[in-house]
């Protein structure tokens, strides 16, 4: 298992955590960074494989995307949609104020 | 910035020289489908909060998208109407970002392989000239929901009714060189979309919005850094926003500054653009093919069957109007702006004087509708009635002047012009003896003027014609009045 | 009571239809067993009232002769399946109070065929794990060794432990990189991952959409066939679902394997694989040869790269699939004054360490500047892996491999995530290729822990997979019972 030294550092981890909207306690950052480096080092093995002229494979299914006809067949279920909401009011989901 | 009014549109005179605008547009057109792009919830506008929301739209765990065939068809149709390359295999990607009205945490869109590739559209400019704007691509994507920030002092309210509604994003090449051109381009795209029925083009309800990419450069130089003005929902705002943004950029560049590539909002109250406050971190959308969907594939014969169903489009119609009805290219371009106009015109002008019909429609009818604040579909005058009016003028039943009177009565009463003419006794008088009586009366009432005229004051001829017309309450045939007057006053 | 628990699914079904037993009796026996084995921690939620109500309805149908294929059979459901009005958490704190208003297609299919729900089974959080230790409510204990707390495997650890401990007659699982087959191997039972697209994913909490597939965990191959008969089927609500009719698998149980070719890939007997497993692997090969199969050595050259490719693709998809857990529409919200802070705290507190690690990896490999080097590269390697299988299936009908490189390990002993990932080294390749695989128990190692052998078939050849697995099952005669079974 190849373990390349440092692929990500703490600032990169901060950036990724921010993109992922994950609060990571300061105390856990170094160990998380180490884990990520181990994993990224492991997956870097793929560099050994010659993939020139190979098309990426996104799906193993052999069929075409099936179409649906344009019918209104859903909706009118506000109660179900809102049932598990942590906060809702007069039919809306409610969140802390968003500033644009 | 000053004196822009004396410059050609799209140019700004700075201290350091003449600047030119480079503009590219991303038009978001809501597809006129009954249900959403990937769910069976209604795509209609104006329902109660979260009514048109399925479990798929609310991104409940385990929910999956299934694509709406009608939406795919509309994208292909639009692509064909834009003379664009149709990609028989395209891919849906996820555009990942967090936002309160984006339940999945990603928007399903098309990034590297859109359904429609390069095309072009011919745009009619205000001065009667034409220009060709390149289309970069067209892709299908989901709309986001709506956040309401004014319902609570510290909270935002989220309505997902629009979440997942099908949009087509039509991306132009940076071929546009002035705000006015941008406006005309949007008009043309909207017109095409309405012709083919892919989108209702209603900008007030947000069915058609545009993001404008604006940069400035000195003539012949490389493109400058661009800013994107988001979500403009009227042609007037598009024109204003681009002008003000270009002026802002010139001001910065002239004072030695640089332009930050950023997203900006247009403030309709100040008429200026401002930076979005929430841009603190650079976006990284992490596009990747949506594994819940497979590549979107269709056959060439399916595309052909759509092509066959395509209605005649504005450009070809325009050519035909000029050819068949002998109207000017400018008039034709106005008439083909809306499918409803052309249909109206063709019915009204059928077998009649095309030029005269176009004049009455464009000048009188459009003017009157505007004055009365009516939409075209609310017109009290039908195509049949306008056509009849034109016939009455052409065959000499009424004069042009009387026709205006009849027209305003038609606007009020919705009656047919012949009915009005009959009721009011407005038929033109062309009978020589009738007219001669009137002439005699005018001559005897104006003996002094007759003497002056015969004495060489030719200009007075008009006065006599006017008096005769007045006496006939405008009904006398002016041609005959002229002829008989000349004979009488020899 | 315990005689009732001795019946496997096929036997119990027969007894029910012959009215030797009632579903209520059977269901009560299982409810008692659940309570007797509660220390294993397999169940997150027990729905006793509903189970009894469903059992009574089944008894009516059994009496009036309208019994359906799984009539009156009490089963457990992995907590990744959304079940209407029954709490569904995916073993995560972020969904601790989530009560779906809908039923997953696969579970609905089971209820439509008469099955009775006992409750929801623990798993690794969002099915991310190979030991069931990432479950928010704590690990499940493997019922095999009484004196040591061993892992049941994962992520379908609760499902495997419940079937092995006889607290469910059968269970559903989901398999992304081995989450059915590896725990089945660890717990001495049968676990079948169907071809990708065979079972609808609608209503199953998504981990990695291009890999996730539901399947049964059962005591026997026939039981698996009966379960999958009901679970599988085309679903218009899942665009990746295959529009194919699966033949009745019960017709394939005794087809035998005479003349069939079985491939033995050389890449699956590497260093680090336990000796006992090799022994039983060889024994399995011999038995199949004796039964008339032709044994052919084959090569799947890119096997080594399956695991690294998997640990790019699965986390990448997961990072996006798990973005919806943001505390807005459902889930345990952590209040904060700004939306972004709310997201970060909700997700930071709601997800466990392994889930967070995978989201971070997934976000990283998709991020600008790294996409080509990681994600695209992994997708290309995925194609090579699929092509490896396609080439081999030109020469053979089935592939036989060990299910895991080792038998179960003690809970809490594998702290390094990477070491944990290596558990799936033999199950991941078939997942990446979308192929059906089954793990069945073939023996016990020196410490008395079960060993699983995996058979992999070509796409949509579940019938052949069942025939072949049945031959191996019968000839090897594995008939041990876990220590932890309630007596």
Cβ of C330 within 8 Å of Cβ of A44? The answer is: no
C320–B103 CB contact, under 8 Å: no
- Given a cut of 60, whether residue A4 has pLDDT beyond it is no
Is B62 in Cβ contact with C316 (below 8 Å)?
A: no
Return the active site residues of C.
78, 155, 179
Give the 3-state secondary structure of B65-106: CCEEHHHHHHHHHHHHHCCCCECCEECCEEEECCCCCCCCCE
ipTM of the complex: 0.97
B59 vs C203, C208, C324: nearest CB? C324
Name the residue with higher pLDDT: B15 or C351: C351
Q: Which of C388, C406, C349, C448 is nearest to C146 (CA)?
A: C448
Interface test with C, best of B107, B160, B281, B286 (most C CBs within 10 A): B286
**What's the rounded Cα separation, in Å, for the pair B55 and C82?**
12
Q: Identify the closest residue of chain A to C94 by CA–CA distance.
A: A86
Asked if B237 and B328 sit in the same domain, the reply is no
What's the rounded Cα separation, in Å, for the pair C162 and C169?
A: 8
Q: Is residue C438 over pLDDT 80? A: yes
- Residue B286 makes CB contacts below 8 A (sequence gap 6+) with A19, B94, B96, C319, C320, C363, C366, C367, C368, C371
Q: Which of C90, C239, C326 sits opposite B294 (nearest CB)?
A: C239
Cβ-count burial of B454 within 10 angstroms (0-12 exposed, 13-18 middle, 19+ buried)? exposed
From the list B53, B66, B154, the residue facing A96 with the nearest CB is B154
d(CA B99, CA B97): 7
Closest residue of chain C to A39, computed from CA coordinates: C418
**Residue of chain A whose Cα is closest to the Cα of B284:** A19
Q: Do B239 and B99 share a domain, yes or no?
A: yes
- The more confident residue out of C217 and A61 is C217
CB–CB contact A70 B66 (8 Å)? no
Name the minimum distance, in Å, from the CA of A49 to any CA of chain B. 22
Task: With respect to residue B99, please indicate whether it lies within any of the assigned structural domains.
Answer: yes
Q: Which of B100, B265, B281 sits opposite A95 (nearest CB)?
A: B100
Is C184 within the bounds of a domain?
Answer: yes
Residues B299 and B335 in one domain: no
Q: Which residues of C420-429 are buried (b: 16+ CB within 10 A; e: fewer)?
A: bbbbbbbbbb
Contacting residues for B382 by C-beta, under 8 A, at least 6 apart: none
B223: helix, strand or coil: coil
Give the distance from residue B275's alpha carbon to the nearest chain A alpha carbon, in angstroms.
10
Cα atoms in the 13 Å half-sphere on the side-chain side of B97: 13
What is d(CA B471, CA B462) in angstroms, rounded to the nearest whole number? 14
State the smallest CA–CA distance between residue A38 and chain B in angstroms. Answer: 22
In a mutagenesis test of the B interface, which of C104, C209, C329, C337 is the best target, namely the one with the most B β-carbons within 10 Å?
Answer: C329
Q: Name chain A contacts of C193, Cβ cutoff 8 Å.
A: none
- Position C487 pLDDT exceeds 80: no
Last residue of a domain, one of B280, B304, B328: B304
Q: How far is C79 from chain A (nearest CA, A)?
A: 17
As a whole number of angstroms, the distance between CA A21 and CA A39 comes to: 21
Write the pLDDT tens digit of every residue in B307-361: 999 999 999 999 999 999 999 988 998 999 888 999 999 999 999 999 999 999 9
Confidence band, pLDDT 50/70/90 cuts, at residue A1: very low
Q: What is the pLDDT of residue C361?
A: 98
Residues of B in contact with A65 (CB under 8 A): 67, 293-297
Is residue C371 a contact partner of residue C380, using CB atoms and an 8 Å limit? no
The answer to whether position C59 is within a domain reads yes
pLDDT recorded at residue B181: 96
Give me the pLDDT at residue C418, please: 87
CA angle B6–B11–B13, rounded 5-degree value: 70
Q: What is the pLDDT of residue C153?
A: 96
Beta bridge partners of B170: B27, B138
Is C203 in the B-facing interface, judged by CB distances under 8 Å? yes
Residue C133 above 60 pLDDT?
Answer: yes
**Which pLDDT score, from 0 to 100, does residue B127 have?**
78
| Residue A2, both tokens | 């190849």
Judge if B58 and B187 occupy the same domain: yes
**Strands C116-121 and C74-78, how do they pair?**
parallel
- What is d(CA B461, CA B449) in angstroms, rounded to the nearest whole number? 10
Q: Which residues of chain B have pLDDT under 50?
A: 1-4, 280
Domain membership of residue C78 (yes or no) is yes
Give the C window 215-234 contacts with A, CB below 8 Å. none
Q: Is residue B143 part of a domain?
A: yes
Of B247, B281, B304, which marks where a domain is finished?
B304
Query: Are both B386 and B446 inside the same structural domain?
Result: no
Residue B310 has φ and ψ, to the nearest 5°, of: -65, 130
Count of domains in chain C?
Answer: 1
Instruction: Establish if B8 belongs to a structural domain.
Output: no
User: Dihedral (C-alpha) C249, C254, C257, C259: value to the nearest 10 degrees?
Assistant: -110
Note whether residue C400 is domain-resident: no
Q: Residue B337: inside a domain, yes or no? A: yes
Tell me whether residue C159 is in a domain.
yes
Size of interface A-B (CB pairs under 8 A): 138
Same domain for B358 and B328, yes or no, is: yes
Query: Please, what is the end-to-end C-alpha distance for chain C in angstroms?
Result: 9
Please write the tens of the pLDDT for every residue from C242-291.
Answer: 999 999 999 999 999 999 999 999 999 877 899 999 999 999 999 999 99
Dihedral pair phi/psi, residue C437, rounded to 5°: -145, 150
Cα nearest neighbour of B100 on chain A: A95
Tell me how far apart the alpha carbons of residues C444 and C108 are, in angstroms, rounded to a whole number.
36
Q: Among candidates B300, B302, B295, B306, which has minimal Cα distance to B114? A: B295
Tell me, yes or no, whether B473 and B392 share the same domain: no
pLDDT of the residue at B1: 45
pLDDT of the residue at C295? 98
- Which residue range is the domain that position B361 belongs to? 312-424
Structural tokens at position A67? 């179409």
Substitution target from B54, B62, B69, B101 for chain C, most C beta carbons within 10 A: B62
Contact across the interface for C320 and B106, Cβ inside 8 Å? yes
Q: Report residue B277 CA to chain centroid gap.
A: 32
Compute the C-alpha angle C302/C307/C312, nearest 5°.
110
Q: Given CB atoms, is B229 within the 8 Å cutoff of chain A?
A: no
* CB-based contact A72 B55, cutoff 8 Å: no
Tell me, yes or no, whether B227 and B259 share the same domain: yes
C234 in contact with B, Cβ within 8 Å: no
B35 and A74 in contact by Cβ < 8 A? yes
B63 and C202 in contact by Cβ < 8 A? Answer: yes
Same-domain check for residues B229 and B353:
no
Ranges assigned E (strand) in C111-241: 116-121, 170-175, 190-193, 213-218
Question: Residue B10 falls within a domain, yes or no?
Answer: no
DSSP-derived 3-state class of residue B190: helix
Using CA atoms, how far apart are residues A80 and B60, in angstroms rounded to an integer? 11
Is the Cβ–Cβ distance between A95 and C328 less than 8 Å? Answer: yes
CATH number at residue C83: 3.90.1300.10
What token pair was written down for C77?
A: 């459901």
| Domain limit, last residue, from B271, B304, B337 | B304
In this prediction, residues C224-238 reach a mean pLDDT of 98
Residues in CB range of B489: below 8 A, 6 or more apart: B443, B450, B453, B454, B461, B464
- Residue among C323, C260, C347, C246 at smallest CA distance from C296: C260
C99-109 tens-digit pLDDT: 999 999 999 99
Residue A47 backbone dihedrals phi, psi, to 5 degrees: -55, -25
Alpha-carbon gap: A5 to the closest alpha carbon of chain C (Å): 16
Judge if B452 and B475 occupy the same domain.
Answer: yes
The reported pLDDT for the residue numbered A49 is 97
Question: Which candidate in B158, B263, B275, B283 is best for mutational testing of the A interface (most A CBs within 10 A)?
Answer: B158
User: Tokens 């065979």 belong to which residue?
Assistant: C198
Residue contact A45–C328, C-beta within 8 A: no
Could you tell me how many CB contacts below 8 A there are between chain A and chain C? 172
Structure confidence at residue B423 (pLDDT): 86
pLDDT for the residue A100: 61
Q: Which residues of B touch C (CB under 8 A)?
A: 55, 58-67, 94, 96, 98, 100, 103-106, 154, 156, 158, 284, 286-288, 290-294
B2 belongs to a structural domain: no
Our count of domains for chain B comes to 3
- The reply to whether B12 falls in a domain is no
Instruction: Indicate whether B33 and B51 sit together in one domain.
Output: yes
Cβ-defined contact of C316 to B96 (cutoff 8 Å)? no
Is residue B1 one of the residues assigned to a domain? Answer: no
B75 shares its domain with B211: yes
With beta carbons less than 8 A apart as the criterion, state whether B141 and B109 touch: yes
pLDDT at B278: 54
Chain A partners of B40 at a C-beta cutoff of 8 Å? 68, 71-75
At B172, is the secondary structure helix, strand, or coil? strand
Residue B197 is encoded by which pair of tokens? 């029925």
**Domain boundaries, position C127:** 2-259+463-476
């Amino acid at each position: 298992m190849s373990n390349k030294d440092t692929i990500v550092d703490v600032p990169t981890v901060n950036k990724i955590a921010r993109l992922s909207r994950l609060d990571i306690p300061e105390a856990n950052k170094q160990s998380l960074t180490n884990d990520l480096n181990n994993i990224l080092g492991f997956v870097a093995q793929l560099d050994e494989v010659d993939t020139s002229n190979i098309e990426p494979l996104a799906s193993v299914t052999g069929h075409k995307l099936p179409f649906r006809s344009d019918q209104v067949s859903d909706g009118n279920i506000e109660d179900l949609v809102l049932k598990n909401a942590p906060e809702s009011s007069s039919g809306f989901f409610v969140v802390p104020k968003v500033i644009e | 910035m000053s004196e822009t009014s004396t410059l050609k549109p799209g140019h700004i005179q700075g201290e350091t020289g003449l600047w030119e605008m480079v503009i590219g547009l991303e038009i978001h057109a809501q597809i006129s489908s009954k249900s959403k792009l990937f769910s069976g919830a209604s795509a209609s506008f104006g329902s109660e909060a979260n009514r048109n929301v399925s479990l798929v739209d609310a991104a409940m765990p385990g929910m999956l998208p299934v694509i709406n065939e009608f939406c795919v068809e509309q994208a292909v149709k639009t692509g064909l109407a834009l003379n664009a390359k149709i990609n028989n295999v395209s891919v849906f990607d996820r555009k990942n970002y967090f936002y309160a009205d984006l339940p999945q945490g990603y928007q399903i869109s098309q990034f590297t392989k859109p359904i429609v590739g390069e095309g072009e559209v011919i745009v009619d400019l205000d001065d009667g000239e034409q220009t060709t704007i390149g289309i970069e691509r067209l892709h299908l994507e989901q709309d986001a929901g709506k956040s309401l920030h004014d319902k609570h002092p510290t909270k935002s309210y989220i309505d997902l009714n629009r979440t997942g509604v099908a949009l087509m994003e039509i991306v132009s090449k940076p071929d546009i060189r002035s705000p006015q051109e941008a406006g005309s381009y949007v008009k043309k795209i909207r017109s095409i979309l309405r012709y083919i029925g892919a989108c209702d083009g209603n900008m007030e309800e947000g069915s058609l919005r545009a993001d404008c990419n604006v940069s400035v450069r000195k003539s012949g130089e490389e493109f400058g850094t661009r800013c994107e003005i988001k979500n403009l929902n009227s042609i007037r705002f598009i024109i204003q926003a681009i002008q003000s943004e270009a002026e802002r950029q010139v001001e910065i560049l002239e004072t030695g500054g640089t332009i930050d590539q950023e997203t900006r909002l247009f403030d309709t109250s100040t008429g200026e653009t401002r930076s979005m406050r929430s841009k603190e971190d650079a976006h990284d959308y992490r596009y990747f093919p949506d594994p819940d969907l497979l590549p979107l594939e269709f056959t060439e014969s399916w595309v052909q069957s759509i092509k066959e169903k395509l209605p005649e489009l504005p450009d070809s119609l325009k050519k035909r109007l000029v050819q068949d009805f002998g109207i000017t290219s400018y008039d034709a371009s106005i008439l083909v702006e809306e499918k409803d106009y052309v249909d109206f015109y063709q019915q009204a002008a059928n077998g009649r004087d095309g030029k005269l019909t176009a004049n009455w429609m464009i000048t009188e009818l459009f003017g009157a509708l505007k004055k009365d604040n009516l939409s075209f579909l609310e017109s009290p005058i039908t195509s049949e009635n306008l056509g009849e009016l034109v016939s009455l003028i052409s065959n000499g039943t009424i004069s042009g002047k009387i026709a205006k009177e009849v027209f305003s009565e038609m606007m009020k009463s919705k009656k047919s012009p012949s009915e009005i003419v009959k009721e009011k006794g407005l038929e033109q008088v062309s009978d020589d003896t009738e007219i001669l009586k009137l002439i005699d009366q005018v001559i005897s009432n104006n003996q002094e003027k007759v003497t002056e005229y015969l004495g060489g004051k030719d200009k007075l001829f008009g006065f006599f014609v006017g008096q005769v017309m007045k006496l006939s309450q405008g009904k006398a045939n002016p041609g005959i009045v002229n002829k008989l007057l000349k004979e009488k006053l020899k | 009571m315990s005689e009732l628990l001795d019946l496997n699914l096929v036997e119990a079904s027969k007894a029910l239809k012959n009215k030797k037993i009632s579903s209520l009796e059977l269901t009560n026996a299982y409810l008692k067993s659940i309570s007797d084995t509660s220390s294993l921690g397999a169940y997150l939620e027990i729905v006793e009232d509903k189970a009894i109500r469903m059992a009574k309805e089944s008894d009516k149908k059994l009496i009036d002769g309208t019994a359906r294929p799984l009539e009156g059979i009490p089963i457990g459901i992995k907590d990744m399946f959304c079940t209407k009005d029954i709490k569904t958490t995916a073993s995560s704190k972020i969904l601790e109070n989530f009560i779906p208003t809908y039923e997953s297609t696969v579970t609905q299919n089971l209820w439509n065929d008469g099955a009775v729900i006992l409750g929801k089974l623990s798993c690794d959080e969002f099915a991310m794990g190979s030991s069931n230790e990432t479950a928010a409510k704590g690990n499940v204990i493997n019922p095999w060794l009484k004196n040591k707390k061993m892992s049941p495997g994962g992520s379908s650890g609760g499902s495997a432990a419940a079937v092995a401990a006889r607290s469910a007659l059968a269970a559903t699982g989901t398999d992304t990189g081995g989450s059915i087959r590896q725990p089945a191997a660890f717990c001495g039972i049968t676990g079948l991952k169907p071809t990708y697209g065979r079972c609808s994913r609608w209503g199953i909490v998504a981990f990695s959409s291009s890999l996730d597939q539901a399947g049964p965990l059962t005591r026997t191959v026939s039981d698996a066939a009966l379960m999958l008969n009901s679970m599988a089927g085309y679903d218009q609500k899942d665009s990746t679902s295959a529009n194919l009719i699966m033949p009745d698998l019960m017709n394939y149980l005794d087809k035998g394997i005479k003349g069939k070719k079985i491939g033995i890939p050389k890449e699956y007997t590497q260093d680090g694989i336990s000796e006992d497993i090799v022994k039983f692997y060889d024994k399995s090969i011999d038995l199949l040869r004796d039964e008339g199969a032709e044994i052919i050595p084959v090569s799947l050259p890119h096997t080594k790269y399956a695991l690294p490719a998997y640990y790019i693709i699965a986390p990448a998809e997961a990072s996006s699939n798990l973005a919806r857990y943001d505390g807005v529409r459902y889930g345990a919200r952590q209040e904060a004054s700004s939306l972004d802070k709310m997201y970060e705290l909700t997700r930071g507190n709601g997800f466990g360490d392994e889930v967070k690690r995978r989201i971070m990896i997934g976000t990283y490999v998709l991020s600008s500047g790294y996409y080509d080097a990681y994600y695209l590269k992994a997708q290309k390697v995925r194609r090579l892996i699929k092509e490896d299988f396609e080439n081999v299936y030109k020469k053979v009908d089935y592939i036989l491999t060990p299910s895991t490189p080792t038998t179960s390990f003690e809970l809490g002993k594998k702290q390094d995530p990477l070491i944990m990932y290596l558990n799936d080294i033999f199950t991941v390749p078939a997942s990446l290729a979308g192929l059906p695989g089954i793990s069945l128990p073939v023996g016990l190692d020196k410490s008395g822990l079960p060993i699983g052998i995996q058979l992999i078939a070509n796409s949509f050849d579940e019938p052949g997979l069942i025939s072949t697995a049945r031959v191996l099952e019968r000839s090897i005669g594995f008939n041990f019972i876990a220590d932890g079974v309630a007596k």
